[in-house]
Amino acid sequence: MSFDFSGKKVLVTGAGKGIGRGVAIALSESGCKVYALSRTKSTLDSLTEEYPSITPIVADLCDWEDTKKKIEKLEVLDGLVNNAGISAHDYAAVDCPRENICKVLDNNLLSAINCSQVIAKKMIEAKVKGSIVNVSSIGGLASFPNGLPYNISKAAMDMASKVFALELGPHGIRVNSVNPSLVMTPMIRELIQNGLPLDKTAVARSSMGRLLEMNEIVDPILYLLSDHSAMVTGQMHVVDGGLLCNITTKI
């Protein structure tokens, strides 16, 4: 399936690295006008040096009002990819402090709600049909140790996708989540380097026996942004190599 986003305009958050960067590049190469948002200027600089047509936006998504002001200045868009987020594996559930929970919810959930509100309102006012894709996780569907803040943030994001889909559908705006398992992004590599055996665990439980390549999550996101998914909304699109479909891969 090929994608043609010529004439389309899409905002991608967390676009400086990882999945967000991959999506921004793929959209740009498909003819889309891309707005790439990140809190880290240096990663945006390297992105726009490679792809000068991409418009960078430096913003801390945890600053609700500042982010709102910056994206309200944008033209009416056709799509939004809420990709920005952080991981958290520092505390057992019984020890996890309120500050840690709030930090993760702010980064992973509230930032996506804020961006969706602003972009969707502009679409509605201009009578533009479009698509919002929230990058969630299998962590919103199944728990793992020391993952309380992350797990609940992604589970809540999936429900936010459904609520937005219900209310925005009459305006021709679709909202979906993608729920990947491990993708070898810089964040995952850092967690593995810090001692979490995420790669070994995921490979052992996956019926496909490997981690996701970047294009294997970027392409599903592009599908949900595109007209190929014109009647798909309010869904969680799991991309996990069969990780969640089993109790064990061997008996």
59 in a structural domain = yes
pLDDT tens digits, one per residue of 134-193:
999 999 999 988 999 999 999 999 999 999 999 999 999 999 999 999 898 877 778 778
Closest CA to 175 of 106, 79, 83: 79
**Residue 163 covered by a domain:** yes
Any idea what the CATH number is for the domain that residue 123 is in? Answer: 3.40.50.720
What pLDDT, on a 0 to 100 scale, did the predictor assign at position 1? 64
Q: Which 8-state DSSP code applies to residue 81?
A: E
122 is written with which tokens? 């502009």
In a domain, 247, yes or no: no
Containing structural domain, residue 51: 9-241
Tens digits of residue pLDDT in 34-50: 999 999 999 999 999 99
Q: Which residues pair with 176 in a beta bridge?
A: 133
Average model confidence (pLDDT) for the chain? 94
In a domain, 248, yes or no: no
Taking the C-alpha atoms of residue 73 and residue 35, their distance in angstroms, rounded to an integer, is 12
150 is annotated as an active-site residue:
yes
pLDDT digits (tens, 9 = 90+) for 212-224: 999 999 999 999 9
Tens-digit pLDDT profile for residues 104-133: 999 999 999 999 999 999 999 999 999 999
In a domain, 1, yes or no: no
Residue 216 lies in a domain: yes
Which listed residue (35, 51, 91, 150) is catalytic?
A: 150
198 secondary structure, DSSP code: H
* Alpha-carbon gap, residue 167 to 41, rounded angstroms: 35
Give how many domains the chain has, as a whole number.
1
